[in-house]
Amino acid sequence: MIGRLRVGHLVEAGLWLTLCLFLYIYSFEFDKDIEIYKFGATAWPRTIILLMALAAIGQLIHHYVKGDEASSQMISAAVDDGAEEAAHEAHHESLNWYLSTFALLAIPFIYMRVPDWIAAMFSAGDSGLHLARIVCAAILVAIVIYFIRHHRVRVALMLPLFFAALLEDFGFYTLAPFFIIGVMYVFGERRAKPMALVMALIYGLLLMLFVKILFVGLPVGNIKPFYDIGSWVVTVLQ
């Protein structure tokens, strides 16, 4: 132990800071000037990355100074439902748990790299690359569905990253409904009708806000038929 830090605190901070570093390095791939925004395409993503890093460092300092006692008191004051004891019993503070969590969080980054490696290995063109991405995405989605029942906390952490990784290829208009349903399922909702109604409401509000009001160009995807679906939705709404 260092100060009042445990291994879990160090591992957690290390994972978050590693993620921030990876995202910052990846941001150079879309670092372009934007005619209507002088700070460029990476301004807001890098701001969010900086805030994530500051939050991770701040939490680490907090644990160093006060340990778990202050956090435990706040949690106990808010709710006393035995969650902390359940976490200890389920070994959610072990090094093995953090490593398996890191493996699950690696799924989005696997998608971002593996199809390109496969396409390069077989000297495939655009159609081959698109096929590799579809197959890789299908396999990874199946893995996520398998883990969703028994590892909901980890899937909840990974799901937004996976959604962001798939956006460029499959488009917002195709993925958003499945992402909304996936989030509801992860957080315990199982009733089909309420899930469908909430998904339709949120999806409709997002489309109205971004497409009709703000005129923001959301990703339509690069792969057919997902590109065609996204383009059709934009055409209908505009």
Q: Whole-angstrom Cα distance, residue 134 to residue 122?
A: 16
Q: What is the pLDDT averaged over residues 172-199? A: 91
pLDDT at 21 over 80: yes
Span 208-222, mean pLDDT? 78
Handedness of CA 236, 214, 44, 49 (dihedral sign): negative
**Average pLDDT, integer, range 6-20:** 87
Element (H, E) at 84: helix 83-89
The two structure tokens encoding residue 196: 């469908």
According to the model, what pLDDT value does residue 115 have?
92
Closest residue by Cα to residue 133 from 122, 148, 152, 119: 119
**Confidence grade of residue 214 (pLDDT, cut at 50, 70, 90):** low
CA 161 distance to own-chain centroid: 2
**Has residue 199 got a pLDDT over 60?**
yes
Predicted pLDDT of residue 7: 80
Residue 35 has pLDDT above 70, yes or no: no
Rg (CA), the chain: 20
Domain boundaries, the chain: 1-94, 106-238
Confidence at 149, pLDDT banded by 50, 70, 90: confident
Q: What is the mean pLDDT of the chain?
A: 81
SS3 content of the chain, % helix, strand, coil (to 5): 75, 0, 20
* Nearest Cα to Cα of residue 153 among 187, 106, 195: 187
For residues 30-55, give the mean pLDDT: 77
CA proximity to 103, closest of 56, 146, 155 = 155
3-state secondary structure 111-153: HHHHHHHHHHHCCCCHHHHHHHHHHHHHHHHHHHHHHCCCCHH
End-to-end CA distance of the chain: 59
> Which pLDDT score, from 0 to 100, does residue 1 have?
47
What mean pLDDT comes out for the span 159-184?
91
Tokens of 160: 């937004």
The string of pLDDT tens digits covering residues 57-102 is: 988 888 888 766 555 554 454 444 444 454 455 455 567 777 878 8
